[in-house]
Structure 1
Amino acid sequence: MSPRKKRNSAPPVSVTDRIGALPDSILHHVLSFLPVQAAVRTCVLARRWRHLWRYTTGLRIVGLKEGKYSEVKDLRKFVEHLLILRERTDLDTVQIKFSKFCEEDQPRVNLWVRFAVMCKVWALTLHIGNGYLYLDDLPLVSRHLRTLDLHGVTLQKTFLDFASCPGLEDLRMSNCIINACRISSCSLKHLSIWFCIYYLECRIHISTPCLVSLKIVHYSGRTPFLENMALLESAHVYLHNCCEDACLKYDDSGVLCGTNNNACENCVPIEDDCSRECVLLGGISSAKHLKLLPENGTFIFARDLKHCPTFTKLKTLLLNEYWCEGPDLDPLACILKNSPVLEKLTLQLFSKGQTHKVEMKGSYSSVEGPAAISEHLNMVEVKCNAVDEKVLKVLKFLTAFNIRFGFM
């Protein structure tokens, strides 16, 4: 008689409950990807699920109505009960996203932010769709915070001093009001400032010596003063005419009033303007990759070029038509002569994004004379919509530097 096969003592896993067979630690992580309302509702699935939501590794406090973000008031009581009833386990991520808030909601949302920090959160996101929610003028104190993503909030002086966040590496601010004279962090590696507004008369100083990447796009107010960023790898700076360092008397010929005695009020430096130093270019002079895209009339780059630093590590450079204005294209000449190891130059002239219709590629010819610019310049791209008189002027200028082109 053949021996009877040993039966498996564990009950078979139901086809419909394979998720329920996962270890608790994995389910805690899976639930953290759900909005908190949905995570809590899983308590009715089975006895085992009754308390899993209390140990999630993340919280997504997101007000949703018909697929759109709703107001803070729609989740006030729910979130307050949630924070009381959940276990005091550490949190990897916290997301707080709403479309609207009222004045009485501000201390409540600030409390939620502080709760997240107390739970040793690694990545904290606060997005407010409409209006500017005031964050308390108190420092963040956390050894664990790595990423901070802010949208639609007003930031005060003490909040932007991250001395008590020694692990913070990634700071993103979009559509925020900045009411501080300084952003400082000794650990920050990535800084992004998008569509932010600065109302103070003095320049905000950005002190981030370990920064690796920087983005400043559509900034309104006086241009930030960038302190030394010796470890910087890449920077993208796009300034438009909402920048207060825009010349009010700029004309199409590229003449800035700051170059003569008839200066406008925006071009006159204020008392603490560090007028003997570069505002932007000095701080990013160590970068390997630069995108500098100011709109015409922006004065700050023309001002900085008077003290133009040497870009000792710069490998790739993207410029727009701003640098090709003026009678002798002096801005372009200045930055090229101060970039001794430049390898690739891209000029995006009178076109944005992928809208350019014409592309020309060229390279530096070292056999035609002594080098006035980088001998390493092996690729020059010119992108535009049409080869008009202004573009031809740029091509002629580059040809004088022994750069030869061909159409694509």
Structure 2
Amino acid sequence: MAPPCPDRLSGLPDCLLHGVLSGLGSRQAVRTSLLSRRWRQLWRDVPCANIDEREFADDTWERFEDFADHMLTSIPPNTQLDAFRLHLLRGKDTYWSSFTFPDRWIRRGLRHFPMTIDIRAASHSFWLPYLPSISPNSLDTVSSAASYYRRLTTLHLVQVRIHDSFTMYLGESCLVAGARGAPHGEVQYNHK
């Protein structure tokens, strides 16, 4: 019988393992917690939240909903994300009549100041929600927007409608970010 192979992957530093886990969907990253005690909490510090309904093709909507809620509430409060991705497949009958699910997940993801925002809906469009500090009644909407979007370099929206005020806030925050030497970002907006 051959001797067992040593576990070289677990010997890597956390920053490298986080890089590896960032390339996985969030569900796959969470599943790595079963590998060993060392891996149990690693997924919580991955700088990307990739909530993708395609990973739940054989599951019920409720399992996907529970996972998305748990994933986004498990990110440590002061963590800044490199990327927040939300890809939704199911149609209007599942969640579009009540916008609470996409709104809630988007708000939770944006609280972590992602550099990349990628939100895609496959069948029905929905509105990108107002963020609490960027509501039209906010006293200082430009600086509030700048705080949310200060790190934003890439915005990719498919089947997501945006309010006119969003582009104004985004433009103002990009001017603020540009003044600090931030690189020019990329914006893609696809609405059919």
TM superposition score category, shorter chain reference: 0.7 to 0.9
Give the AA of the match of 1:158.
S
Cα deviation digits, residues 104-154 of structure 1 (max 9, x gap): 552322232222222121011001000111222555532111110000112
Report if aligned partners of 2:113, 2:149 keep a CA contact under 8 Å in 1. yes
From 75, 80, 88, the equivalent of 1:86 is 75
Aligned residue pairs total: 162
Q: Which runs of 5+ in 1 are unaligned?
A: 1-13, 177-195, 197-408
Asked whether 1:36 is paired with 2:11, we answer no
From 152, 160, 170, the equivalent of 2:159 is 152
Indicate how the Cα distance of structure 1 residues 70 and 126 shifts in structure 2: closer, same or farther if over 3 A, else same. farther
Q: Residues 2-401 of structure 1 correspond to what in structure 2 (within 5 A)?
A: 15=5, 17-64=7-54, 74-88=63-77, 89-101=79-91, 102-103=95-96, 106-137=99-130, 139=134, 140=145, 141-161=148-168, 162-166=170-174, 167=177, 169-174=185-190, 176=191, 196=192
**Secondary structure of 1:116's aligned partner:** helix
**Secondary structure of 1:17's aligned partner:** coil
1: CA distance between counterparts of 2:55 and 2:22?
A: 20
**Larger helix percent:** 2
1: CA distance between counterparts of 2:167 and 2:61?
A: 24
Report if aligned partners of 2:27, 2:55 keep a CA contact under 8 Å in 1. no
Report if aligned partners of 1:106, 1:135 keep a CA contact under 8 Å in 2. no
The offset of 1:37, in angstroms, is 1.2
**Secondary structure of 1:34's aligned partner:** coil
2: CA distance between counterparts of 1:78 and 1:48?
A: 22
Cα deviation digits, residues 154-197 of structure 1 (max 9, x gap): 222212221343246211011x1xxxxxxxxxxxxxxxxxxx4x
Give the AA of the match of 1:100.
R
Q: Which runs of 5+ in 2 are unaligned?
A: 135-144, 178-183
1: CA distance between counterparts of 2:12 and 2:49?
A: 20
Indicate how the Cα distance of structure 1 residues 69 and 45 shifts in structure 2: closer, same or farther if over 3 A, else same. closer
Indicate how the Cα distance of structure 1 residues 70 and 100 shifts in structure 2: closer, same or farther if over 3 A, else same. farther
> TM-score scaled by structure 1?
0.36
Give the AA of the match of 1:133.
F
The offset of 1:65, in angstroms, is 5.4
**Larger strand percent:** 1
> TM-score scaled by structure 2?
0.73
2: CA distance between counterparts of 1:156 and 1:70?
A: 33
Indicate how the Cα distance of structure 1 residues 132 and 80 shifts in structure 2: closer, same or farther if over 3 A, else same. same
Report if aligned partners of 1:69, 1:99 keep a CA contact under 8 Å in 2. no
2: CA distance between counterparts of 1:58 and 1:65?
A: 16
RMSD between superposed Cα atoms in Å: 2.6
- The answer to which of 68-77 and 113-122 deviates more is 68-77
**Secondary structure of 1:26's aligned partner:** helix
Indicate how the Cα distance of structure 1 residues 159 and 43 shifts in structure 2: closer, same or farther if over 3 A, else same. same
The offset of 1:71, in angstroms, is 8.5
Cα deviation digits, residues 186-227 of structure 1 (max 9, x gap): xxxxxxxxxx4xxxxxxxxxxxxxxxxxxxxxxxxxxxxxxx
Cα deviation digits, residues 268-324 of structure 1 (max 9, x gap): xxxxxxxxxxxxxxxxxxxxxxxxxxxxxxxxxxxxxxxxxxxxxxxxxxxxxxxxx
Please list every run of at least 4 consecutive aligned residues from structure 1 whose deviation after the TM superposition is greater than 4 angstroms.
68-74, 137-140
Cα deviation digits, residues 227-279 of structure 1 (max 9, x gap): xxxxxxxxxxxxxxxxxxxxxxxxxxxxxxxxxxxxxxxxxxxxxxxxxxxxx
Determine the structure 1 residue equivalent to 2:137: none
